[in-house]
Structure 1
Amino acid sequence: MSPVETVRGAVDSAELGRTYMHEHVFVLTADVQNNHPGEWGDEDERVADAVAKLRALAAQGVRTIVDPTVIGLGRYIPRIQRVAEQVPELNIVVATGVYTYDSVPFFFHHRGPALGAGVPDPMVDMFVGDITEGIAGTGVKAAMLKCAIDREGLTPGVERVMRAVARAHHLTGVPITVHTHPGRRTGAEVKRVLCEEEGVEPARIVLGHSGDTTDCDHLAELADAGFVLGMDRFGINVGTTFEARADTLVEMCRRGHAGRMVLSQDAACYIDWIDPGALAFLPQWHYLHLGEDVLPHVRERGVTEEQITAMLVDVPRRFFEGPR
Structure 2
Amino acid sequence: MSLVNTVQGAVDTAELGRTYMHEHIFVLTADVQVNHPGEWGDEDERVADAVARLRALAAQGVKTIVDPTVIGLGRYIPRVQRIAEQVPELNIVVATGLYTYDSVPFYFTYRGPALSAMLGTDFPDPMVDMFVADLTDGIAGTGVKAGMLKCAIDHEGLTPGVERVMRAVARAHQATGAPITVHTHPGSRTGFLVKKVMCDEEGVEPSRIVLGHSGDTTDCDQLAELADAGFVLGMDRFGIYTDTTLEARADTVVEMCRRGYADRMVLSQDASCYIDWIDPNVMPFLTQWHYLHLGEDVLPYLRDKGVADEQIDTMLVDVPRRFFEAS
- Does TM-score exceed 0.5, indicating one fold? yes
Amino acid corresponding to residue 187 of structure 1 in structure 2: G
What are the residue-to-residue correspondences of 1:132-281 with 2, within 5 Å?
132-281=136-285
Q: Separation in 1 of the partners of 2:297 and 2:243?
A: 19
Q: Indicate the SS of the match to 1:65.
A: strand
Aligned to 1:62: 62
Amino acid corresponding to residue 108 of structure 1 in structure 2: F
Amino acid corresponding to residue 3 of structure 1 in structure 2: L
The reply on whether 1:82 has 2:82 as its aligned counterpart is yes
Amino acid corresponding to residue 89 of structure 1 in structure 2: E
Q: Separation in 1 of the partners of 2:212 and 2:228?
A: 16
Aligned to 2:31: 31
TM-score scaled by length of structure 1 = 0.99
Q: Separation in 1 of the partners of 2:131 and 2:94?
A: 12
Per-residue CA deviations over 1:275-320 (Å, capped at 9, x if unaligned) read: 1111122110000000000000000011001100000000000000
The alignment covers a number of residue pairs equal to 323
Q: Separation in 1 of the partners of 2:262 and 2:59?
A: 24
Q: Indicate the SS of the match to 1:276.
A: coil
Q: Separation in 2 of the partners of 1:176 and 1:243?
A: 28
Amino acid corresponding to residue 273 of structure 2 in structure 1: C
Amino acid corresponding to residue 130 of structure 2 in structure 1: M
Unaligned runs of 5+ in 2: none
Q: Separation in 1 of the partners of 2:242 and 2:220?
A: 19
Find the partner of 2:307 among 300, 303, 308: 303
Per-residue CA deviations over 1:85-105 (Å, capped at 9, x if unaligned) read: 000000000000000000001
Q: Separation in 2 of the partners of 1:213 and 1:281?
A: 23
Find the partner of 2:126 among 118, 122, 125: 122
Q: Separation in 2 of the partners of 1:318 and 1:219?
A: 20
Aligned to 1:9: 9
Deviation at 1:37, TM superposition (A): 1.2
TM-score scaled by length of structure 2 = 0.98
Q: Indicate the SS of the match to 1:206.
A: strand
Q: Separation in 1 of the partners of 2:231 and 2:128?
A: 23
Q: Separation in 2 of the partners of 1:171 and 1:130?
A: 12
Q: Separation in 2 of the partners of 1:247 and 1:279?
A: 25
Amino acid corresponding to residue 102 of structure 2 in structure 1: D
Deviation at 1:39, TM superposition (A): 1.3
Q: Separation in 1 of the partners of 2:217 and 2:135?
A: 32
* Percent of matched pairs sharing the same residue: 83
* CA-atom RMSD in angstroms: 0.7
Q: Indicate the SS of the match to 2:22.
A: coil
Runs of 4+ residues deviating >3 angstroms:
none
Per-residue CA deviations over 1:27-66 (Å, capped at 9, x if unaligned) read: 0000000001111100000000000000000000000000
